[in-house]
Each structure stands twice: as C-alpha cells, then as structure tokens.
Structure 1
Amino acid sequence: MPELPEVEIIKQSLAKKIEQKKIKKVIIKNRNLRFKIPQKFEELLKNKIIKKVTRFSKYLILNFSDGSFCLIHLGMSGTIHLIKKNDLNKYTNVSFYNSPSLPKKHNHVEIQFQDLKVIYNDPRRFGFFKFLDNKQELINRFRHLGPEPFFKNFNLKYLLKYFFNKKKDIKSFLIDQKFVSGIGNIYASEILFLSKIKPTKNAMKLSEKDCKKIISFSKSVLNKAILKGGSSIRDFKNTSGRKGNFQKEFKVYQRENLNCVRNKCTGKIKKIFISNRSTFFCNTCQK
C-alpha cells in the first residue's frame, strides 16, 4: 500500500503536469472500485480547471478553480499513469511501485486534458474517487483522522494525552490513522528502530523522552523517504527518470535474521506480526 511519502511523490509529479489545466473528458471503464463511482461523476469533472494538486495523509486532492474537490485514494494497489501525446517514454507511472509502464488491464478511470491524459490503474480495486462540492465537505471528510507527523499539533502534549492509560502497543498506534495520518507499516518499523523502542511496548509506558523521539524520527524518516522517492521495493524509474530507492535505507524492514546495523549492537532483526502486519525490530537495542 502506498504510504505518505509515495503519495507525496505522486502529488509532486502530477502538480507539475496538470495544474492550471482544464479537464476535457472523463472516461470510466469500471465504476466498481472500493466505493462505486456515481453515474454523474464524468459530468461533474468535465471542464473543471485544476487550480492545485494537494495531499493529506495518503489522499490526493484535486483542487478545482470553482471551490470543489476530487479526492483520490490509491488503496492497496492503485497507480496513476501519465500519458503525453506523441511521447514514446515507456515510463508512465508517476509513482515508484508496481508496473513502471501502463498495464493493459485494470485501467478504470481516464481523465483527459488537451495534451495528456491521466489513467488510474488498480488491480485490487480498493482505491476510490470522491467528488466534494466545497471546503467544508473536505474538512468533514478528514475529521476522523489524526494529524500528520509534520503538523504542529503532533507534539509532546498530544502524544502524552493520547497515550494516557492506553495498553495498546505503540506499533499499532503508529499505523492507526486516527492517531497519526500517513505513517504506514514500513515506516512505523523504521521509526521505532531509530527511537530504540520495541514495537510491542505499551503506549502508556512510554516516557516523555520516548515520545519526543517518536515525534522527531517520524518527521525525519518520512522526509528522507520523500527525498529518496519513497519505498518502491522494486527499483525502476518514473516518468521524470528518477528512482525510488528509500528501501536501500531500511534499517529493519525486510531484514529478518540479519545483524543490527547500529554500531556495537550484537542483536538480530526479528519479524513478528502486530495487527496482522509484519513488524521488524532489533531484539537487543529496542526496549
């Protein structure tokens, strides 16, 4: 599943290509995504001018010039491909995971502009598109989600209050979007390793020092992942020719039974399952 850094890279890629452009036509080839695309969707988007492409958490947001919005969530396997007229570049994927070129199957939504088109591909169909009439609807849509790690309100006071008397493990909190938006399974393991915190530790037992580490490393890990192009796992170029290679920076994720990379640590990386998700940690330096 694409996490915050991957969605940020997609946002940046799209912003360069489709901002200030008018949507000429929308073609829906399969309405049966996570939420069924309504019949009127094509007409709602037609002739809309994209003022800005933004992001919140793992959601892409097309901001239209008339004050309406289109929300896009990529689900587990969704990718967005940019096809330019008369361009023979085989790398169409604006992200760094799954197929680098446009697959022949599962192309469900096509948004056409004057000189290019954006195609949404999703084999598992867990993603969705949602049209919102105004800013208040957008605010309401995100009301149940926690702050992003980059927000000012993701601070020590927030963490201490949220964790008070909570017996749930810290790893489960980090991937809970109601607590913090945008951190997924991969980055949670990396953040906890850098913080020297065992993923099974009860949140209520975290010290102020622990919480400060989580705040700091949440920001730094995600920022570094964005700069590195996200965690593609498969290493290929996107439409701009850049590679997503944050996976080369992993300290624990997918390093089961390998030696800990921390200096003078004699531990091994172990794999367990928390909330049905694979979790990696050092059995010695994370306490």
Structure 2
Amino acid sequence: MPELPEVEIVRQSLNKKVKQKKVKKVIVRNRNLRLKIPVNFNSYFFNKKIIKVGRFSKYLIIYLPEDNYCLIHLGMSGTIHIVNNKSVNKYTNTSFYNSPFLPKKHNHVELVFENFKIIYNDPRRFGFFQLIKSNSDLIKRFNHLGPEPFDKNFNLNYVYNFFKGKNKDIKNFLLDQKFVSGIGNIYASEILFLSKINPIKKAKLLSKKECQKIIINSRKILLKAISMGGSSIRDFKDALGFKGGFQNEFKVYQQEGIECKNIGCSDLIRKKITSNRSTFFCDSCQK
C-alpha cells in the first residue's frame, strides 16, 4: 500500500493535470469497490470544474464546486492513469506498485476531460471513492486519524504524552494511523534507523530527546522521499516515465544481511517479524 510520499506524488501529478478543468463525461464500470460507488456519483462530477486535488495522510481529496469533495483511497492495488486523447502515452500510471502502462482489465472509473481522461484501475478492489458533502463533514471524516508528521500538532508535547504508560513498541505506534497519519512500514523502519531507536523498544521508555528525534526524522525522511519521487518497490514509472528514487536511499528496509551503512558499524541489518510485519534494523546502532 502506498504511503504518504507516494500518495503525494500522485496528488501532484493529478493536480497539475485536472486543476480548473471541466469533467465532460463520467463512466462507472464497476460500483463494487471497498465502498460501493453511489448512484449519484455522476452528478458530482459531470460538467463540473475540478477546483484542485489535495491530500490528507494516504487519502487523495478532489475539491469540487459547492463545497463538495471526493476522497480516493488506492487500497492495496489501486492505480490512477492519465490517458491523453491526441497523443500516445508511453507511460500512463501516476501511482505505485503496478505496471506503468494502463491495464486492459479492472478499469472501474473514468473521468473524461476535453483532451484527456483519468482512469482508476484496481484489480483487488480494496480502494474506494467517497463523496463528502461539506467541509465540516470532511473534517469529521478524518477525526479518527492522528496528525500528519508535518502538522504543528505533531510536536514534543503530543508525542511524549501519548507514549506515557504505553507498552506497545515504537514501531507499531509509527504504523498506528490514530497516532500519526501517513507513515507505513517502509518509512517507519527508515525513521527509527535515522533516530537510532530500536523498533521493538516500548514507547513508554522513550526519553523526550528520543521523541524529538522521531518528530524531526519523520519529517526529514518523508520530505526527502517526496523530493525523490517516492519509493519504487516494483515496476513503477510515473506519467512522465520516471521511477521514484528513494528506494536507492534505503538504509534498513529490505536490507537484511547487508552491512550497516553507518560509519564505523560493521554489523548486519536484521529482519524481525513483529505484528505480522517485517521490521528491519541494526541491533548495534539502534538501542
């Protein structure tokens, strides 16, 4: 599943293409995604101008006229493709983890504009579209989620007090969207390595200094990943044919058995399964 940086790359690609463009036609081939697409879906888009494309955590937000919004979550296999009408796209995929080309099957939703169309493809159908009818409802929709790492509320007071008395390990907290939104398995491992904190350390044992490291390094890692186009774990190219580059910067994720990249450390990166997730770390550097 794409994490915050990958969804941000999709947002940037979409916003550049559809901002202030009018939808000429809506095609829904399959309403049965994780959330069933409502029968009035067409009326929210047809002949309407897209104001902009935003994002919160791992959700795309299409801003529509009359204080309406459409959330898109890509799920496990959802991808968004941009197809131009008058020129042949070598690459269509703005998303991650699947083919850079538009697949022939599982194209569930199309938004058709004057010179191009946006196609949502999802073989496993775990993604969804959700219509939101007011800004207050949009805010309520995310009430169950914690702040993003970039949010001013993700600060030392919040993090340190959240961890008080908590027995759960720090890696699981970074994956807990109720604590902080947008971080997944890749970036949690990289953040903890940079912070020199063992992923299985209990959250209640973290000092204020360690909490501050997590805050600073969460922002540092995610911003660097965004600047490098995200992490291309599989055969990904964006709509311009470029791969993400942050996978070349991995220090621990998927580096099991490789020598630690910290200067002066010759230990090997270890892999441990915690809560059914692969956790990568250096036992010498991360305490």
State the TM bucket, normalised to the shorter chain: over 0.9
Aligned partners of 1:176, 1:251: CA distance in 2, in Å? 22
Tell me the TM-score normalized by structure 1.
Answer: 0.98
Letter in 2 for 1:244: G
Q: Residue 212 of structure 1 corresponds to which residue in structure 2?
A: 212
TM-score (norm 2): 0.98
**Separation in structure 2 between the aligned mates of residue 246 and residue 239 of structure 1, nearest angstrom:** 17
Displacement of 1:96: 4.1
The SS at the match of 2:37 is coil
Unmatched 5+ stretches in structure 1: none
State the AA in 2 paired with 1:97: Y
Shift of 1:123: 1.1
% same residue:
64
How far apart in 2 are the matches of 1:2 and 1:87?
Answer: 29
Structure 1 residue 235, shift from structure 2 partner: 5.2
Per-residue deviation, 1:50? 0.7
Q: Who is 2:151 aligned against?
A: 151
Partner of 1:233: 233
Check the 8 A contact 2:26/2:111 in 1, yes or no: yes
Query: Structure 1 residue 111 and structure 2 residue 111: aligned?
Result: yes
SS in 1 for 2:216: helix
Match of 1:69 in 2: 69
Q: What residue in structure 1 maps to residue 30 of structure 2?
A: 30
Give structure 1 regions of 4+ aligned residues with deviation exceeding 2 angstroms. Answer: 234-237, 240-243
CA deviations on 1:227-281 (whole Å, 9 max, x unpaired) are 1100111355321233212100000000111111100012211111122111100
1:141 maps to what in 2? 141
| Separation (CA, whole Å) in 2 of partners of 1:143 and 1:237 | 33
Whole-Å separation in 2 of the counterparts to 1:213 and 1:111: 43
Could you say which residue in structure 2 is the equivalent of 1:176?
176
Q: Is the 8 A contact 1:11 1:60 kept in 2?
A: yes
Which position in structure 1 is the counterpart of 2:17? Answer: 17
CA contact (8 A) 1:34 1:127 kept: yes
Residue in 2 aligned with 1:200?
200
In structure 2, distance between residues paired with 1:273 and 1:42: 44
Partner SS state of residue 211, structure 2: helix
Q: CA RMSD in A?
A: 1.1
Deviation string for 1:48-80 (max 9, x for gaps)?
Answer: 211111000000000013211000000111110
Aligned partner letter, 1:181: S
Q: Secondary structure at the match of 1:50?
A: coil
Superposition deviation, residue 36 in structure 1: 1.0
Residue type of the alignment partner of 2:210: D
Whole-angstrom CA distance in 2 between matches of 1:244 and 1:285: 28
Partner letter of residue 172 of structure 1? N
C-alpha separation in 1, matches of 2:80 and 2:277 = 25
Structure 1 residue 22: deviation in Å? 1.1
Asked whether the 8 Å contact 2:98–2:235 carries over to 1, the reply is: no
Map of 1:60 onto structure 2: 60
1:94-132 per-position Cα deviation (integer Å, ceiling 9, x unaligned)? 134311010111111111111111000111111000011
- State the Cα distance separating 1:25 from its structure 2 match: 1.5
SS in 2 for 1:10: helix
Number of residues paired by the alignment? 287
Q: Contact between 2:99 and 2:235, CA under 8 Å: does it hold in 1?
A: no
1:121 paired with 2:124, answer no
Aligned to 1:280: 280
Q: Does 1:91 align with 2:98?
A: no
1:111 to 1:248, Cα distance in 2 relative to 1, 3 A: same
CA distance in 1, matches of 2:274, 2:108: 33
Counterpart contact for 1:62–1:69, Cα < 8 Å: yes
SS in 1 for 2:181: coil
